[in-house]
Amino acid sequence: MYLEIITPEKILISQEDVTDVKVPGVLGEFQLLDDHAPIVSVLEKGHIFFSDKVQLPEHEQDQFGHDNGKYSYPIKGGVIENRGNKTVILVD
């Protein structure tokens, strides 16, 4: 699956081959895997988690946490769209 995380200032990550993404939805945390049904959802304060097999840009690595084989990125809120194995997350 393709993952893109975008802030108002820049694109933080634009990466192919992400196996899963976990996000803080309004009704609770949920996970997207390959071939997930199309979805658009509002996100609330929490963390985005994804596989640590992703190559993070060197100049962005200090913004991501790492634990138990996952990278994490803190957010204040945002929106996620997934369609056709492409996940785009707009965050605050």
- How do residues 32-56 score in pLDDT, each as one tens digit? 998 999 999 999 999 999 987 788 8
Q: How far apart are the first and last CA of the chain?
A: 23
Residue 69's pLDDT is 86
Q: What is the pLDDT of residue 58?
A: 83
Query: Residue 72: its pLDDT value, please?
Result: 94
Q: How many CB atoms lie within 10 A of CB 32?
A: 21
Q: Is 0.95 surpassed by the pTM of this model?
A: no
Identify the segments of the chain with pLDDT beneath 70: none
Residue 89, pLDDT score: 97
The pLDDT value recorded for residue 47 is 96
pLDDT score, position 59? 83
| Spatial CB neighbours of 67, under 8 Å, sequence gap ≥ 6 | none
Instruction: Report whether 11 contacts 4 (CB < 8 A).
Output: yes
Domains of the chain by start residue, with CATH: 2-91 (2.60.15.10)
